[in-house]
Amino acid sequence: MTSFVVKAECKQIFEGLGTLVDVGGGNGSLSRIISEAFPGIKCTVLDLPHVVANLPEADNFKYIAGDMFQFIPPADTFLFKLVFHGLGDEDGLKILKKRREAIASNGERGKVIIIDIVINAEEDEHELTETKFLLDIVLSVNSTGKERTESEWAKLFFDAGFSHYKITPIFGMRSLIEISIQKKFKSICDYLAAIKKPVEDVDKQWQLARGLGPDLRTLKVAMLGNPPYRQFGPFILQGSKS
């Protein structure tokens, strides 16, 4: 099932990536599926020495023994499957800040992929929500970890310096979350949406126009001169007067 989901549903997520590090990836079952489905990706699994010792490798698939709190190899993409729900916010923030620095040093090209549980009581079925809350209780009793709502995930990402995230419910109880560095205004809109205070589309358009500065006139001419965009006419004209 996981193999089918990765190939059929995650093509646009993994296709085109060059290198991927599966942090805390255990025996690498997920990374092996990714490396086989997308041979162009060089996958590395990072986990403790006793976990990865003597496991078979391939041309585009290898293991590195290490502690994720001490060292994570450089890559285009960092994958964390069911890692963060076992960590408190303080430890999670430390790891994400380091990944943010790594991506920034690579010209802001790259992203973090998290496969984990997202509590969504408004959209999930009642039984599913109860199960997620039960897991949260178990984690709180046995570790510093926790299950998080979307707003809690968003706060963690933005506190670490990331500016964009996308959540895709795809693995049963688990979701695939992509986080990256994008434009500041978009990050603000995403954060406000996560805390249920979304920015209206007209306000997004207005801020976009204001940010264009001298290029606003060029946009105005282009949009008013093409019939499909005439509905933006009043907005563009208003923006050009400010």
* Conformation bin of residue 82: beta by default, left when phi > 0, alpha when psi is -120 to 50: left
Secondary structure (DSSP) of 159-218: HTT--EEEEEEEETTEEEEEEE---HHHHHHHHHHHTT-PPPHHHHHHHHHHHHGGGHHH
Q: What is the CA radius of gyration of the chain?
A: 21
Task: Spot the catalytic one: 50, 85, 126, 164.
Answer: 85
Told to judge if 85 belongs to the known catalytic residues of this protein, a careful annotator would answer yes
Residue type, 226: N
Annotated catalytic sites, by residue?
85
